[in-house]
Structure 1
Amino acid sequence: MEKPIDTFVQTISARYSRLLSARHEGLKGVSPGTMLPRLEYLQRSYPSARDITLGIGFCRLALDEPRASEAFEFLSSVTMSPLARFFLLITRMRFGAHDRAFAELRALLRETAVIFPEIAFPLFSAVAEANRCSGWCAMLPDGRLVAGLPDHAAHTLILRHDADERPADLTLLARPPGYRVWTIDNFVLPRHLPRIDILQAGRGLLGSGIDSRTVWTFEGFIEGATDGLSGWCRYPNNLAATDHIQVRTVEGDRTLFDALIGPPDDEPDDERLWPEKPRTDFVIPWQDLQGPETPAVKVTDRFGRAFYGSPIDPLAGGRYARTQAEWVATRFPSAHPASVQPSFNQPFPTLYTPRFPASETDAPAIPAPRVAVIIPVYRGYETTRTCITLVLQHRGVHERVVIVNDCSPDERITAFLDTLATLDGVTLLTNAQNRGFTFSSNRGLRAVERDEDAILLNSDTLPPPHWIDALRRTVHRAPDIGTATPLSNAATIFSYPSADGQNPIPPYEEVLETAERLAACGNDALVEVPTAHGYCMYIRADCLHQTGLLREDVFAQGYGEENDFSRRAAALGWRHVACLHTFVGHAEGQSFSAVRSDLIRRNLATLNGLHPGYDRMVQAWQARDPLGPFRRQLDLARLHHAIAGRPVVALLTHDRQGGVQRFVTDRARENLAEGHVPLIVSPHPPRHATEDPVWRIIPFLPEDYPNITVPRGGADLPTLLRALGCARIEIHSYIGAGIRDVHQLSRCGIDHVVYLHDYSWFCPRITLVSYNSLYCGEPAPDACQRCVADLGPLNSDDTPLTLLRELSADLFRRATAIIASCHDVADRYRRHLDAPITLGQWEAPIPTRPATFPPKAADEIRRILLIGAIGIEKGYNILLALARHVADHDLPMRFTIIGHTCDDPRLLATDVVEITGRYGEHELPALIRNHPCDWGFLPAIWPETWSYILTEFWRQDIPVITFDIGAPAARIKATGTGLAVPLHLPIASLATVLLAPWLLRTH
């Protein structure tokens, strides 16, 4: 058993490595021996690339590394990948985790179809034998059942599904060591995909309880195209299944197309050897249907399950265009017009929607105190149960609930809804088959009475108390308001706190708090919106009856149907507004997340066809952001409540990444621990060229406050800080805002402290690096001015050097303290700005001991570690020259960079450098442990003001070599934890030091 599996693993790993090399530029030409570290490097650059993660698992397994399980476990949990689950099983058995293999194989057999049968059958048998099982059972890709039984066992099995139970007719299929694998011949997979049990002597085999609905999970999407019906489909849990497409007419149920897509296959080929089964793309030509006469059709798989986008009227757009053309021909006829006349007048769609006065609507206004809440239901048992429970809990005497069960496949949902059917004020409607969100919504809306307003509500929402009253009051504030939509965590243009909708699903307590806060704000403004949102859309009765229902013929299962409704209503004179008095939580995407992007793309195109310019109108509205002031107001209301009288400290920083941001975060934590509320203030660019730049204020609190901005350059920021009770401003950088704005802020009357992280206060180049990317030596001011004139500033500020230093000196004079990390930094600032500097603690002290560099044999490889983001100032050019020198002279030295550089490919091309890629701070200790080294190297060429990397080396007890400049050298010399060598040491001499540092001593 072991040798065939070993050969199989090596073969698959090599095949997959070739596939990845063809797919990723960074893997081309990589030798098998270096494939694993290169994949690990790429994974840090592309952490969401699942194909790279799978390759790491294959390579580790081929190298007999137990850590192979990490990659397979991740993919198994994130994507339920059958391929990853299969190789995780191999990994478990290889390293003796038989108990875990048992549980994982049981789930694999129940939920996926067999792949690689020549390996799977002996593997399944080995797991069953190791766990003393009587045998195992599974489903093949074509729907047949197989059972594996020990040679000595009786070959008598009982097959059971639904109410049917009978002896299984067996035919021998394969003979793995000690086992026989049988097919069950008297079984044909039923169309309704039941649970299947296979028993021996009254007990289920390992894997019994096969969930055929899960094995044959189906995903598919359909749309009309120029050449025919276009789309994709797949069975993600059945990698080797062929795709079967059926097209039937909506009227009459006539079959127009019934065929397999793609050749049958016994196992995944190279094209399917991916973490997830690729989609099978297809086009069904019009001539294979009914050509230009193709009617509305429904598209399903072999089991009758509809593709998303079905039913579809594929030529509706063509008929629309034809009718429109015929109508225009009657308005502007030629001298000899054709006799054919259009059957009705089709108005030409406009690029904008005119505003009609309310008097132009067709029906008299109806007072509508009563409300019907329409809730279509399909999947998501827990969210559905919670939503409906909350709706029933918070409804009033004038409100009833209409629930539409869209033939949910979840028996728990059906059972729960059945318990509600007899409740007063609840109507339960059940579709005979799954028809999609739009159809189900319309079925519920048809149940609305003439004098009832309606609310269309997703089943994954979290409504608070009084939510219906808030919506009803908003709609009835004016006679021409047709719909209202509340704010939510995930509702496109109605989203809060982040306007882009990328907000976590809030706990219900947070929903309640936000809704109460909105109600307390008491906003009387009416914010008009271009469209309502169907997650929670309140519709006035008059608007509903004049506009009609949602378009089932165009928008199928959903996405875009409420936008079309909104624009049709707008054409009749109805306005749409945001409700600013409540907040409804939204889990979003319970029903069709797998095809969401395709539905949005298709339906947005359709929407723009029906309402030309729709997307531009929405984008223009988003650019104006009429809801922005209200989001900001709500953020400030929440922040005032969170501050609760505590003193505030503002930490002013730049808009870049790096050590400054880490220090600011640490300072924020310290201030918070001392009882202050920290506000991190940074410059933020304008969203558009016509807008002014702003300050962005982010409270360092658990909650999110993304909307607090104020204009730069005026009194807005000081005014806000005083209103929030700011007691002190910590100025960490002016970069991004400009020295003038920060200097002006320093004169606002609030005490300020300055922390020195670089030399930008007197050097526009920030790091004292000048010509030829070398340390400038800090010359006289006229030389500094020539440097800036020749090379340009790096501080995003055009302030002349002389004025920069004057403003900096004035800001420093009025500071309550100016704090530096060490004497080296303080001495440089005293020379240039004559400022009184106080030394502060950048990090908590850690124990160190004098460095030892163990001697190495002449041919023994020295492994040298570098950490972080290595750019020009951090010594990239020196490192590149050093790596090339090592490669050219075949020196016994190799470099590992935990992090990345400004140009990785040139370093990797030397074949003496390994780069792991970007990392999170929490990952660093493990990365250092996984990349053993002899000593560390800090090649920075500027006088750094600190070095978190040096501290990390110390934590891992790694001696360090650096250049004799700046805080790192001062710290090393003070502690004896390494070597400080001359800055401009020739590359050959530097290589000699790195080869034998034990020959030198630091004094």
Structure 2
Amino acid sequence: MTDAITFKPYPTRPTISVVLPIYTDTAMTIACIESALPNIIAHPHAILVLVNDASPEADMATTLAQIVARYPEHVVLLTNEQNLGFVGSVNRGMQYQVTHDVVLLNSDVIVANDWLERLQREIYRYENAATMTPLSNNTTICTFPDFLQDNVIPFDLSVAQIDAVFATSTYACVDAPTGVGFCMYIKRSALNAVGYFDEAAFGRGYGEENDFCQRAIAQGLVNYITPNLYVYHQGGVSFGEEKQQLIENACKIIDQRYPSYHADVQKFIAADPLRPARLYQMAKLIASFDLPKVLHISHGMGGGVDQHIEELSAILSTDAAHLLLVPHDDKGGATLSLSTSRQADRLYFQLPEQIDNLHEILRQLGITLIHYHHTFQCSSDLFVLPKILDLPYQITIHDYYLLGGNPTLSDETGVYPGYFDETLENPLYPYPKNMTRESFRATHRELLEQADRVIFPSQAARQIFGDIYHLPHVIIAYHAEPERKVTQSVKPIMKKTRYQVGILGAVSREKGADFLEAVAVYAKKSQYPIDFIILGYGYKTLKNVNTTGPYVRDELLQLMQHHDIDMIFFPARWPETYSYTLSYALHAQLPIFAPNVGAFPERLSGRDWTQLFNYLGAPENTADALWHFIQSGGQVDTIDTSTVQANFYQTNYLSLSLSPKSSLNIIPEQLFNIDAKPKFILKSGEKSAVWLWKIYTHPKMRWVNYVIPFSVRRAVKRLLSRQPIHDLVKKHDK
């Protein structure tokens, strides 16, 4: 990946006009100017051209005039008598000095260090370059660290700190179908060959740089992205509320002018040539700062475990770096993500063959603490990481898998009998191949018993887990949930002619799907005015129960409001160790009807308009009790929760971590095994979506754009799959 090309000296550095179009947000604009000016002033041949596009803000003109007065040799102010729009302002700035190279800089960008010097140096590495764009946090194909995402700045570092790490590299720049105009260098020779931006077509902004870059390609020039420079881009400030309409209009024009453009962009995204550089830069960034570095190990199967890891990482995002190691199959494959984000770049290892590589990368990154969340499908090589790396570690018990392979302690009917039964077996949860209960526990015994901490998310979980393992260092701590208020007062059920009873999430047998169906059937037979609705889905179609389908968890509160839910019913048949869906119900301030098992009693302790029912009782009795609760309410008895450590994650979680050490050593790139990829299996709908996309993007099929509206094409794609098309194409092609 490291570029062997040496920097080409040029006798006289071309003069640069840094063009900054300005409309609103005086404070952000000033921050941009103050970040850019030091290196503009330091550059022997550069000026800053401010273009005030008739800003409506009263203090904008005065503030800009003061800057010009302070730096008359370095700053020029052009003021439009009337608003020309973004493209008109950019063109005016580019034409101010018709011999200068140009750097376009949006007013919502923060640059640092010797940014201009390096950006110019990068573009002049390539004689055929028309444009050069750096990496940033929120710039579509140029984003870092997570591709195509709106990223927060990692670890609460400054732009200068991150860019200083980028400045140590000389990775090859990447040929792209377009540059991105937030911070884009344009050679004057390219402007002379291609012309200025198309003001008539893109006057208000969006799409103008894509059009320019496509015209440059037609002239035999290349648009490059450099992974050796980082800037911050807030995004959207320049265009405000009209952004979406501008994007849609620009897409139509680009599609008409350059029929292969969107296919080329998707090919670029699927190939993702910047991935190696992003991984190297992120690894260097993690290694170079004095922060605790936590390696989370889990099953990677979603659900509450993944949610806990993501939210814990978010809570401590400024206090520690968080990495994630999960199996990607049951044959020894493992995936290392350099953050816990779902969109994070990943490294793939085949264990045990590549375990030494994994060990060395973790050493070089400076991991200071290991946190096991689940071991399902994990290679046993991962169990000895603390010993190999000489690191402290802790384990969170998210379910009961470690007792004997059955995470719910349920029998073949999906019901927990009320106690842990050594003889109980559930065919849904067989032991790993060639293992018995005894050998399964032996595999995990040392890992559990020698842990520096074993964390239980409820008192009930600790009690049920029992003493099969000797656990000398136990912590009971509820999951940290800063985004949800779980102790709010309850809104009572108001008298109505019919009541909407909500059930949350993916309802399996263990979550009570069959029991819920029996309750709903009896309630209808008894003519209770109750409608049962799963905000989510069941493992099968349930009689007398409506479903809304899968949802993004951030939408759950809105779903409850949209469906006018009066109360929440939890029909769970196993002792949940925590229950995030319960947290959402608590945050919604809704009455709750829950089973008297697992974490429910203690988490609902003393709560008004809340009732526990006998989860082993008959569904008819439960339906009667539910109807009585709707009419009369109830309150849960208070339970002693004194063994629960409050605010543990905020105050004590990182206390086990070793003292972090920074390293400026370059991690050997051969350790990263960049080309290793797991095999993916696409579902039938996903395959159909990919083939439709390939047909649609074929040059001879571009007429589809004009015959079938975009909204229809999008609806068909979403019907087939909700995953981004570039992800599906990438998986298909692999």
Listed one character per residue, the Cα deviations across residues 671-730 of structure 1 (whole Å, up to 9, x for unaligned) are x79x995735253879xxxxx86232437xxxx997463324442443333334445533
Secondary structure at 2:475 match in 1: coil
1:653 matched residue in structure 2 = 298
Q: Is the 8 A contact 1:487 1:579 kept in 2?
A: yes
Listed one character per residue, the Cα deviations across residues 377-401 of structure 1 (whole Å, up to 9, x for unaligned) are 3333333344345444442342123
2:322 matched residue in structure 1 = 679
Pick one of 511, 518, 523 that aligns with 1:881. Answer: 518
Q: Is the 8 A contact 2:146 2:345 kept in 1?
A: no
Q: How far 1:962 sits from its partner (Å)?
A: 6.7
Q: How far 1:526 sits from its partner (Å)?
A: 2.9
Q: Is the 8 A contact 1:710 1:717 kept in 2?
A: no
Pick one of 109, 113, 122 that aligns with 1:461. Answer: 109
Q: Is the 8 A contact 1:883 1:910 kept in 2?
A: yes
Amino acid at match of 2:618: P
Q: Hey, what's the Cα distance between the residues in 1 that align with 2:66 and 2:603? A: 72
Listed one character per residue, the Cα deviations across residues 705-762 of structure 1 (whole Å, up to 9, x for unaligned) are 9746332444244333333444553322134x54567557578555655443323346
Q: Is the 8 A contact 1:757 1:945 kept in 2?
A: yes
Would the alpha carbon gap of residues 447 and 955 (structure 1) be closer, same or farther in structure 2, given more than 3 Å must change? closer
2:572 matched residue in structure 1 = 940
2:347 matched residue in structure 1 = 710
2:442 matched residue in structure 1 = 809
Alignment of 1:18-417 (within 5 A): 367-396=12-41, 397-417=44-64
Answering whether residue 367 of structure 2 is matched by residue 756 of structure 1, we say: no
Q: How far 1:535 sits from its partner (Å)?
A: 1.8
Q: How far 1:493 sits from its partner (Å)?
A: 1.6
Q: How far 1:613 sits from its partner (Å)?
A: 1.5
Would the alpha carbon gap of residues 380 and 959 (structure 1) be closer, same or farther in structure 2, given more than 3 Å must change? closer
Pick one of 569, 572, 584 that aligns with 2:231. Answer: 584
Pick one of 484, 492, 497 that aligns with 2:145. Answer: 497
Q: How far 1:664 sits from its partner (Å)?
A: 5.4
Pick one of 481, 493, 507 that aligns with 1:871. Answer: 507
Q: Hey, what's the Cα distance between the residues in 1 that align with 2:439 and 2:362? A: 26
Q: Hey, what's the Cα distance between the residues in 1 that align with 2:97 and 2:327? A: 49
Amino acid at match of 1:841: I
Would the alpha carbon gap of residues 385 and 518 (structure 1) be closer, same or farther in structure 2, given more than 3 Å must change? same
Secondary structure at 2:336 match in 1: strand
2:679 matched residue in structure 1 = none
Q: Hey, what's the Cα distance between the residues in 1 that align with 2:502 and 2:149? A: 39
Secondary structure at 2:73 match in 1: coil
Would the alpha carbon gap of residues 380 and 806 (structure 1) be closer, same or farther in structure 2, given more than 3 Å must change? same
Q: Is the 8 A contact 1:403 1:444 kept in 2?
A: yes
Secondary structure at 2:158 match in 1: helix
Listed one character per residue, the Cα deviations across residues 279-316 of structure 1 (whole Å, up to 9, x for unaligned) are xxxxxxxxxxxxxxxxxxxxxxxxxxxxxxxxxxxxxx
Pick one of 83, 86, 90 that aligns with 1:441. Answer: 90
Would the alpha carbon gap of residues 804 and 484 (structure 1) be closer, same or farther in structure 2, given more than 3 Å must change? farther
Would the alpha carbon gap of residues 819 and 552 (structure 1) be closer, same or farther in structure 2, given more than 3 Å must change? closer
Q: Hey, what's the Cα distance between the residues in 2 that align with 1:567 and 1:636? A: 34
Q: Is the 8 A contact 2:556 2:584 kept in 1?
A: no
* Structure 2, gaps ≥5 residues long: 1-9, 480-494, 639-734
Amino acid at match of 1:679: H
Q: How far 1:657 sits from its partner (Å)?
A: 5.3
Q: Is the 8 A contact 1:454 1:541 kept in 2?
A: yes
- Give the structure-1-normalised TM-score: 0.48
Would the alpha carbon gap of residues 908 and 578 (structure 1) be closer, same or farther in structure 2, given more than 3 Å must change? same
2:73 matched residue in structure 1 = 424
Would the alpha carbon gap of residues 510 and 727 (structure 1) be closer, same or farther in structure 2, given more than 3 Å must change? closer
2:122 matched residue in structure 1 = 474
Higher relative contact order (CA 8 A, sep 6+): 2
Secondary structure at 1:395 match in 2: helix
- Give the structure-2-normalised TM-score: 0.63
Would the alpha carbon gap of residues 953 and 593 (structure 1) be closer, same or farther in structure 2, given more than 3 Å must change? closer
The count of residues paired between Structure 1 and Structure 2 equals 588
1:288 matched residue in structure 2 = none
Q: Hey, what's the Cα distance between the residues in 1 that align with 2:320 and 2:68? A: 51
Q: How far 1:952 sits from its partner (Å)?
A: 11
Amino acid at match of 2:178: T
Q: Is the 8 A contact 1:822 1:967 kept in 2?
A: yes
Q: Hey, what's the Cα distance between the residues in 2 that align with 1:426 and 1:676? A: 40
Pick one of 170, 188, 196 that aligns with 1:523. Answer: 170
Q: Is the 8 A contact 2:155 2:319 kept in 1?
A: no
Amino acid at match of 2:121: R
Secondary structure at 1:940 match in 2: coil
Amino acid at match of 1:842: I
2:266 matched residue in structure 1 = 619
Would the alpha carbon gap of residues 812 and 728 (structure 1) be closer, same or farther in structure 2, given more than 3 Å must change? farther
Q: Hey, what's the Cα distance between the residues in 1 that align with 2:107 and 2:313? A: 40
Secondary structure at 1:376 match in 2: strand
Q: How far 1:536 sits from its partner (Å)?
A: 1.7
Q: Hey, what's the Cα distance between the residues in 2 that align with 1:459 and 1:972? A: 50
Q: How far 1:506 sits from its partner (Å)?
A: 10
Listed one character per residue, the Cα deviations across residues 861-899 of structure 1 (whole Å, up to 9, x for unaligned) are 9x99999657242334434533553454367x98999x9
Q: Hey, what's the Cα distance between the residues in 1 that align with 2:582 and 2:92? A: 67
Would the alpha carbon gap of residues 685 and 428 (structure 1) be closer, same or farther in structure 2, given more than 3 Å must change? farther
Q: Is the 8 A contact 2:520 2:543 kept in 1?
A: no
User: Could you say what the CA RMSD is over the residues aligned between the two structures, in angstroms?
Assistant: 5.7
Listed one character per residue, the Cα deviations across residues 572-596 of structure 1 (whole Å, up to 9, x for unaligned) are 3433322344333323333434333
Q: Is the 8 A contact 1:522 1:581 kept in 2?
A: yes
2:686 matched residue in structure 1 = none
Q: Hey, what's the Cα distance between the residues in 1 that align with 2:325 and 2:156? A: 32
Give the % identical residues: 25
Secondary structure at 2:122 match in 1: helix
Q: Is the 8 A contact 2:275 2:345 kept in 1?
A: no
Secondary structure at 1:448 match in 2: coil
Secondary structure at 1:681 match in 2: strand
Alignment of 1:792-807 (within 5 A): 799-800=432-433, 802=435, 806=439
Would the alpha carbon gap of residues 721 and 555 (structure 1) be closer, same or farther in structure 2, given more than 3 Å must change? same
Q: Is the 8 A contact 1:823 1:839 kept in 2?
A: no
Q: How far 1:464 sits from its partner (Å)?
A: 2.5
Secondary structure at 1:369 match in 2: coil
Q: Hey, what's the Cα distance between the residues in 2 that align with 1:931 and 1:553? A: 51
Answering whether residue 247 of structure 2 is matched by residue 600 of structure 1, we say: yes
Would the alpha carbon gap of residues 472 and 669 (structure 1) be closer, same or farther in structure 2, given more than 3 Å must change? closer
Q: Hey, what's the Cα distance between the residues in 2 that align with 1:678 and 1:408? A: 41
Would the alpha carbon gap of residues 866 and 419 (structure 1) be closer, same or farther in structure 2, given more than 3 Å must change? closer
Secondary structure at 1:643 match in 2: coil
Would the alpha carbon gap of residues 619 and 747 (structure 1) be closer, same or farther in structure 2, given more than 3 Å must change? farther
Pick one of 546, 550, 553 that aligns with 2:193. Answer: 546
Q: Hey, what's the Cα distance between the residues in 2 that align with 1:971 and 1:409? A: 53
Would the alpha carbon gap of residues 442 and 667 (structure 1) be closer, same or farther in structure 2, given more than 3 Å must change? closer
Q: Hey, what's the Cα distance between the residues in 2 that align with 1:748 and 1:419? A: 61
Alignment of 1:980-995 (within 5 A): 983-990=615-622
Would the alpha carbon gap of residues 887 and 741 (structure 1) be closer, same or farther in structure 2, given more than 3 Å must change? farther
Q: Is the 8 A contact 1:635 1:705 kept in 2?
A: no
Q: Hey, what's the Cα distance between the residues in 1 that align with 2:31 and 2:603? A: 58
1:484 matched residue in structure 2 = 132
Q: Hey, what's the Cα distance between the residues in 2 that align with 1:909 and 1:483? A: 61
Would the alpha carbon gap of residues 501 and 918 (structure 1) be closer, same or farther in structure 2, given more than 3 Å must change? closer
Amino acid at match of 2:24: R
Secondary structure at 2:172 match in 1: coil
Q: Is the 8 A contact 1:489 1:505 kept in 2?
A: yes
Would the alpha carbon gap of residues 839 and 886 (structure 1) be closer, same or farther in structure 2, given more than 3 Å must change? farther
Pick one of 360, 366, 369 that aligns with 1:719. Answer: 360
